[in-house]
Structure 1
Amino acid sequence: MHLKAEDLSSMEIEFDSGVVPPPYSHIFKLKIGFGAKSLETSLDLIYTDREELSEEEIFDEGFSLDDDFHFKGEISKIWEKPLKDLYLKSKWTSTLMDEEGGISLMVKDRQGKTSRVIPQNQQEWQIFAQDLIQAIYETSKKELPLSLRYLIRTQSGEKMIHLTVKFSIRKVEIKSNGKIIDGDWDKTKELLSYVFLPDYDYSKAKQQVPNHQGHFIDCGDGYWHELGKGVVNIDNSFDAVSKIREGFQKLV
C-alpha cells in the first residue's frame, strides 16, 4: 500500500550494506517524524562483523574501534519537501532484498496506517539517506560543513573559489573575488559526485597554495592537488577530471 505523501506523519529508512566486507559493512535505521517546525529524527548507525578483524586492520582502513553513531533530536524542516518528493516519485517492488542489501521504508500516515515498501530506485534513496545523515552530523556538531577550494591560475590571472556545502540547511555558499552567492543544491551535488571519483595522489600534493598555471583543488584537508597530474581518472571510459574543471568554471 502506497500512502499519500501529504498524509505522512513519519518514515523509517532502514539500510543494510549487504556483502560489503568489514570494516565498511554497516546497517542504519533513520526515523523521521514530520513535525510542525522541524523533523524529529533519530539515527542508529552500527558497523558490523568487525570481530573477525584485528585492531590494526581496522585502523589501516581509516576507521576507529568505535565508529557507531547514535542521534536523537531535530533537523531542519527544509528536508521535508525533498524527502516527500522522492517518496512521491518512487516506484516500489515486492522483491525482498538479497545479499546485496539495500534500503527499505516503513511509512505511517496521520490515520495510523502503515506500509513497508522497497524502492526500485535504490541508488537515489541511498544517496539521499547519506545526505540526511550528513545533515545530522552537522546538526550534532560531529562534523563541520563540507568546504572545498578550487584555484584556476592562468597567464592573465587567478580565480580562487571557496565552496561550502551546508547539509544541515541544504544550502551552498560560493565565495569568489570577495563576493558570496548562493549555489544551486542539485548542480553542486552533481559536481561533488565527480570530485570524489578520480584518484588523488598525495605524493604530488602540496600544502602551499600553487603558484604555477593550472587547475588545483583542495578537498578540505589543506592539500592542493593539480588536475591532470595529481588528480587522474580511474576509469578511462569516464572523464571525471574534465567534469570537475567544467563544473567549477560554471559556478561563478
Structure 2
Amino acid sequence: MTLTKSTFTGLVLEYDSGIVPPPYSHVFRLALDWSKGDMIADLVLHYTEREDLSEEEILDEGFTLNDDYNYQGPLNSVWIKPLQQLYEKTRWTNKDIEEGGITVTPLEKGKDEGVKIPSDQEEWQLMAQDLIQAIYETVKKEAPLKVNYRSVQGDEIIDCSLTVHFSNREVIFEIAGKSRQINWEYAIQLMKIVFTPDYHYELAKEEAGKKRGAYIDCGDGFWHELGKGVVNIDPSFDAVSKIRKGFDELISE
C-alpha cells in the first residue's frame, strides 16, 4: 500500500548516530501522531557509550552529565504539512544503515505501516533535529535561536536581528524598532550558512564594532567581524559573503 499525506496520520522517526564517538553518540525515537487533528509528540533521546568517559571529558565537550531527555505532549500542528510534504517527495532505499542513520515509519490510524529508509538521510535528520528543537522550545528547555547583525557603512550603523522560533516555525526579523515575519526556508538556509565558517573566539568582542564592516553575534553574546574573526573553511564556498548578502537583502526589503 502506498500512503499519501491524506492517508497516514503519524510518523515514527528513529535515529542512531552509528560510528560517532561518545559523548556525541546517541539514539532517539520520535513518534508524531496527528490522527485527532492536533500534533502529539513522544520523544525518547539517549546518549550512548559514556560509561568509559570521565565527567571532565563529557563536560569539556559542552555536554552535561545527563543529556538524556524524554517528552510526551503537544507540538504545534504547523509541523504536520512540512512532514507530509517531505514524506511525499522522499525516495526510499533498500540499503542498510549499519553505520548510523534515520528510519521513517508511517502510521495509519495508529497502525505501523513498516519501516522505510530514506535515500536523503540528511534532509530527514535535519527535520528531526528541527522537531526536537521545537520540543525544547515548547517546554522552555531552550530559548529560540537569535542572531544579531550589524552593518557599518561610513557613518551609518544598521543593527538588526533574526529570531528563529522552531516551536511554531516562525522567523522574526527586527530592525529599527520594527519587526516582520520572514520566509522559514530562507531563514533556515541563512542560518545554515551562518554556522558554516570558522569563528575565531580569540578575536571576538563583547560589543559590536563601529568601524566599517559587518559584525555578527550568534546568540552567545560575542561579536565577530566577518572576514577577520569569521573566515571561510572551504575556499570553494564563500560563506562569509553569503552571510553578508543574506542579511543585506533582509535590511534592504
Show the counterpart of 2:188: 189
Show the counterpart of 1:230: 229
RMSD (Å) for aligned C-alpha atoms: 1.3
**CA separation of 1:56/1:200 partners in 2, compared to 1, >3 Å: closer, same or farther?**
same
Unpaired segments ≥5 residues, structure 2: none
Q: Distance in 2 between matches of 1:156 and 1:229?
A: 21
Q: Does 1:148 align with 2:138?
A: no
Letter in 2 for 1:182: Q
Q: Distance in 1 between matches of 2:160 and 2:66?
A: 36
Show the counterpart of 1:204: 203
Give per-residue Cα distances to partners, 1:42-92, cap 9 Å, x unaligned.
111111111121111111111111011111100000000000100000011
Show the counterpart of 1:57: 57
Show the counterpart of 1:42: 42
Q: Secondary structure at the match of 1:206?
A: coil
Q: Aligned-pair distance for 1:112? A: 3.6
Q: Secondary structure at the match of 1:7?
A: coil
Give per-residue Cα distances to partners, 1:110-145, cap 9 Å, x unaligned.
384612111111111011111111100000110011
Q: Aligned-pair distance for 1:35? A: 4.2
**CA separation of 1:111/1:196 partners in 2, compared to 1, >3 Å: closer, same or farther?**
closer
Letter in 2 for 1:209: A
Q: Aligned-pair distance for 1:37? A: 4.3
Q: Secondary structure at the match of 1:86?
A: helix
- Count of matched residue pairs: 251
Letter in 2 for 1:42: D
Letter in 1 for 2:115: R
- 1:148 and 1:218 in contact (8 A); partners too: yes
Q: Distance in 1 between matches of 2:108 and 2:35?
A: 13
Task: Describe how 1:82-231 pairs up with structure 2 within 5 A.
Answer: 82-99=82-99, 101-110=100-109, 112=111, 114-231=113-230
Q: Distance in 2 between matches of 1:2 and 1:29?
A: 23
**CA separation of 1:111/1:168 partners in 2, compared to 1, >3 Å: closer, same or farther?**
closer
Q: Distance in 2 between matches of 1:197 and 1:239?
A: 10
TM norm structure 2:
0.96
Q: Distance in 1 between matches of 2:94 and 2:5?
A: 19
Q: Aligned-pair distance for 1:185? A: 0.4
Q: Distance in 2 between matches of 1:211 and 1:37?
A: 51
- 2:35 and 2:109 in contact (8 A); partners too: no
Q: Secondary structure at the match of 2:114?
A: strand
Q: Secondary structure at the match of 2:247?
A: helix
TM norm structure 1:
0.96
Q: Distance in 2 between matches of 1:111 and 1:51?
A: 36
Show the counterpart of 2:14: 14
Unpaired segments ≥5 residues, structure 1: none
Q: Distance in 2 between matches of 1:60 and 1:156?
A: 42
Q: Secondary structure at the match of 2:246?
A: helix
